[in-house]
């Protein structure tokens, strides 16, 4: 099983939620208004560094990761100004 950590610009939150639901993702955990600094620069919700990110955690069977990754990249590419999206993947075990 894999855990995807999807860090994305908060401006695409509704589109990301719709995408995850459309992919049949049975559930995910989301953190809102996360600050950080990455490829698109600082997101600190200040006048100098406006904006925030959201983070979605999605646990998936290994064979689903590629399908979800491709769908997220298609979503990212569908915007005129490409929003920041980082996808991290790690091995996880669901404990009883």
Q: What percent of the chain has pLDDT over 70?
A: 100
> How many C-beta atoms lie closer than 10 Å to residue 77's C-beta?
10
CATH class, 2-61+78-91 region: alpha beta
Domain boundaries, the chain: 2-61+78-91
The per-residue pLDDT for range 37-72, each reduced to its tens digit, is: 988 889 999 999 999 999 999 999 999 999 999 999
Tokens of 36: 């950080």
> Which of 17-21, 35-39, 85-89 shows the lowest per-residue confidence on average (mean pLDDT)?
35-39
**CA distance to 26, 36, 61, 81, 82, per residue, from 93 (Å):** 17, 27, 11, 37, 33
| pLDDT score, position 40 | 85
State the Cα–Cα distance between residues 54 and 93, nearest whole angstrom: 24
């Amino acid at each position: 099983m894999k855990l995807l950590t999807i860090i994305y610009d908060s401006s695409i939150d509704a589109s990301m939620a719709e995408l995850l639901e459309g992919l049949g993702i049975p559930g995910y955990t989301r953190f809102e208004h996360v600050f950080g600094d990455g490829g698109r620069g600082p997101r600190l919700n200040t006048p100098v560094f406006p904006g925030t990110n959201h983070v979605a955690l999605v646990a998936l069977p290994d064979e689903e990761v590629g399908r979800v990754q491709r769908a997220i990249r298609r979503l990212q590419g569908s915007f005129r100004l490409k929003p920041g999206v980082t996808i991290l993947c790690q091995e996880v075990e669901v404990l009883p």
